[in-house]
Amino acid sequence: MDLSETRLSIQDESDVARAALQTGNFCEALGFDEIRSQMASTAVSELARNIVKYAMRGEVILRAVFRGASKGVEAVSIDHGPGIEDVEQAMEDHFSSSGTLGLGLPGIRRMMDEFEIESEPGRGTRVTVRKWL
Ligand SMILES: Nc1ncnc2c1ncn2[C@@H]1O[C@H](COP(=O)(O)OP(=O)(O)O)[C@@H](O)[C@H]1O
Ligand SMILES: [Mg+2]
């Protein structure tokens, strides 16, 4: 598989499934083991699902990252939806503004090695995650 940057446009549940599959393929091509690759694809599917649910549309960008001798995968989810009023609250286990599990964002943070979230009400949300081999 091609390891150059891949941009995935996200607007419905089939895009969510496709993004998870592509992340798995990307990770395996990079040399990830099955478990760590599963964690990355689960994280991407939660990010993509949040895009569909809260922002209607957006994108996920996958790229290989290198730091010293380590390599890893970076996924950036970007949308121009409503943004998050209280990011700290959104990161708490079981907080959900839509009555679902509220374990997406905190789960993603636990599964990945690095996690950054930027969100501005009315402007949108950007989440960057990385997992190293
Ligand atoms: N891309 C997004 N745009 C706007 N709000 C979001 C986005 N992603 C998450 N949120 C907010 O953060 C909350 C927590 O998200 P998450 O942990 O994935 O749980 P859930 O999706 O089950 O509600 C959501 O209920 C929503 O209010
Ligand atoms: Mg969610």
For residue 4, is pLDDT > 70? yes
Tens digits of residue pLDDT in 22-46: 999 999 999 999 999 999 999 999 9
Res 94: pLDDT: 97
- Indicate the pTM of the whole model: 0.97
Tens digits of residue pLDDT in 62-84: 999 999 999 999 999 999 999 99
Output the CA 119–ligand 1 centroid distance in Å. Answer: 11
Residue nearest to atom 25 of ligand 1 (CA): 96
Out of 11, 45, 84, give the residue to mutate to test ligand 1, the one with the largest number of ligand atoms within 8 Å of its CB. 84
Contact status, residue 37 vs residue 62, Cβ threshold 8 Å: no
Tens digits of residue pLDDT in 91-114: 999 999 999 999 999 999 999 999
Token duo for residue 19 = 């993004």
Of the two residues 1 and 21, the one the predictor is more confident about is: 21
Sign, CA dihedral 89-90-94-100, equals: positive
What whole-number distance in Å separates Cα of residue 20 and Cα of residue 79?
A: 17
Amino acid at 71: K
Res 87: pLDDT: 98
